[in-house]
Structure 1
């Protein structure tokens, strides 16, 4: 198997049995393990497997404990959805995915969120050391000129009175990126030392070289890192190796995707979309098949519709 496009993938996975056999090989490498108790003592049944551990003795399939659990959609459609969602640089909307795969928009929306659950980084690695790092923050939301404090649309005498859209604060995202490396993102409530400082210390090795803009929140970095900044306020954007152009370029892709494909994202789900964009960026050097197989290896993340739609 060496697919480079969606038609090639679908040509290979024509039968559900082929999909199941392939996924069992990816997940278990030929040695099934009970997802309930972790026992390797299992035996095959007509519909899947059964645990031979007397304390467990449960039936299961390769889908149990993964993003595919309790899904009525065939793995063939799931594989196509993963391929599309992880290869479109700016993402794909649930409306477009539903049209492409012949499923409902509601189902496509749930499928995409399960895929984002799969794309979460399970074991984050430290950035920096010999690789220069850039850090910056950005804001997600509409333009301020279209927002109005304390105003909203109202109906008076059966007439719609447009008093302007209600003011909604923008959502703040902080990002750390290695030059020619990986990116990590986080939605934070505010640009203070507690939020940004702890995020940087968690993801960047001490002693690394970090570049930022002149925001005061980055002044503390000199205590633990080799830190320098550029003065955007006086229109200085590059001084030798000192710049934040790498993370600025990433922000451009992120915003064009969120505004152009998804249009708007709620605070509740923003972190999931950030996982999606960072996962695609961090695997940009892989082939289509390598990226597909890598994400399938990380698919042991279950997400129920109830948990996804639970009001926070």
Structure 2
């Protein structure tokens, strides 16, 4: 450890203990002493001990930990510190404070990263937090799939609203709330001893589905454009589901415009393009037919009718608020 008497090694709790960078392993193997807080049962401490290294368990808080490090370094020993999974912010503040003072310590101090999160690593934290809430929070313990259903719907609409407004920070927050619903429902499902599944099962299923339905990416099927991709998707889906009707799988609880859009998309496979509904016998039938015709026109133009109406309604709401403010 030439030139550096103290090395403080940060690691990610979302990476398996022992999967350290070359620089981190070098710091530990070169050290005359290795220190860490907490008990010997820490998985990362066990990983070092299992590799033949000796780790000293240092009692106390950040001040005592720094005192141990600085005393060892002042004696000319090369020392490494294995930071715990909480990141030990108290110790890092002390280190930063010491290094900003004059005179500086008579030894070098380096903070290095021993492991890094991979994309999606924070999802592990979400699963851990959800597990703890389900065990220890009275409200979370009482929830069921049925009791959470309204929140799933609310969070979906709030996410759509964030998209409509273009507020990126709001969208980020609402996507988090929506993700929580997936984690919560999966956690509840895992408790069913007869027919349970976990969030890993949910993630595994969608990964397999995405690979299966994108043979142009993961296989040898050619797809020249987005239309070919969609056609491949629907062909594969039909073979998987083996449904008796093209309308199977459409949730009837969809908002009316979205439902009409879905039904028209499926109807195109069975009915001629100029198919007409029976003549209306009431104003309700007439309005319904006219709305359906507008949805069909929107499909022809590649426009989402639900989003189109939502956007126009928002414009109207803005005008109302403007008039109210002016008045």
> TM-score normalised by the shorter chain: which range applies?
under 0.3
Q: Could you state the TM-score of these two structures normalised by the residue count of structure 2?
A: 0.21
Point out the structure with the larger helix share: 2
Structure with higher Rg: it is 2
Q: Could you state the TM-score of these two structures normalised by the residue count of structure 1?
A: 0.22
